[in-house]
């Protein structure tokens, strides 16, 4: 499944609960270069990015390649996690 498939399932499959999930993405300059957004704040899902509106009402576009993890906060389950390639020679 692609990231887009997973996000669409969270938003359109009645068996899923987007309010229980969050997205961890790469954000340079943030603590540990990561930022977390609740899935309930997501407003658009497009072929290669999604948008969310923060508490101040600002819309932010996040490309899928920056997503590190999608997880269920109630169960602690990781729904999707980016595979990290090991450098050659290690």
Q: Which residues pair with 59 in a beta bridge?
A: 53
- pLDDT in the model for residue 35: 97
CATH topology of domain 3-81: SH3 type barrels. (2.30.30)
Residues in the chain: 90
- The pLDDT value recorded for residue 1 is 87
Q: Which of 55, 57, 52 is nearest to 27 (CA)?
A: 52
Kindly list the domain boundaries of the chain, sorted by start residue.
3-81
Residues 47 and 29: their CA atoms lie apart, in Å, by 26
Between CA 34 and CA 75, with CA 59 as vertex, the angle to 5 degrees is: 50
Round to the nearest angstrom and report the end-to-end CA distance of the chain: 29
- Going residue by residue through the chain, which has 90 residues, state the pLDDT in tens, using 9 for 90 and above: 899 999 999 999 988 889 999 999 999 999 999 999 999 999 999 999 999 999 899 999 999 999 999 999 999 999 999 987 766 665
Q: What is the pLDDT of residue 84?
A: 77
């Amino acid at each position: 499944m692609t990231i887009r498939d997973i996000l669409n399932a969270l938003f359109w499959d009645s068996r899923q609960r987007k309010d229980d999930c969050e997205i961890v993405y790469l954000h340079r300059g943030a603590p540990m270069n990561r930022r977390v957004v609740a899935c309930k704040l997501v407003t658009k899902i497009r072929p290669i990015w999604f948008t969310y509106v923060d508490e101040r009402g600002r819309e932010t576009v996040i490309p899928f390649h920056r997503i590190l993890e999608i997880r269920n906060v109630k169960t602690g389950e990781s729904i999707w996690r980016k595979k990290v390639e090991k450098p050659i020679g290690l």
